[in-house]
Structure 1
Amino acid sequence: MKGINDSKKELDKEIEIIRELLHKKIEENIDPKEILSVSEELDKLIVNYLVE
């Protein structure tokens, strides 16, 4: 079980890092409404990935 929990924690960290980088890149080029939309879609994809 410990290996599974460690893997999940690592995945959580990676997802958060990717989200932060994505937000930074998007904020440089897109308006705030589009940033929110992309963020919401990313959240949905993350949830779907973790559920499977």
Structure 2
Amino acid sequence: MKEFARKIEIAREILHKKIEENMDKKEILRVSQELDKLIVNYLLECTIKA
């Protein structure tokens, strides 16, 4: 689960950086979708272990 938390934090940092740099909206959307997938997988992992 620490691996998911680390990946989520990295994706968040990348997303914030791209937003601050006014990157292409498609690129921001792509990173946002990856972050969503990581969060869902993390929550599923937590549910399975509970």
Which TM-score tier does this pair reach, normalised by the shorter chain? 0.5 to 0.7
What RMSD over aligned residues (CA atoms) do the two structures have, in Å? 2.4
Question: Unaligned stretches of 5+ in structure 1?
Answer: 1-8, 44-52
Give aligned-pair identity as a percent.
25
The answer for the alignment partner of 1:14 in structure 2 is: 6
Question: What TM-score, normalized to structure 2?
Answer: 0.52
User: Where in structure 1 do 4 or more consecutive aligned residues deviate above 6 Å?
Assistant: none
Structure (1 or 2) with the greater helix fraction: 1
Q: Which has the higher contact order (CA 8 A, sep 6+)?
A: 2
Report the structure number with the largest CA radius of gyration: 1
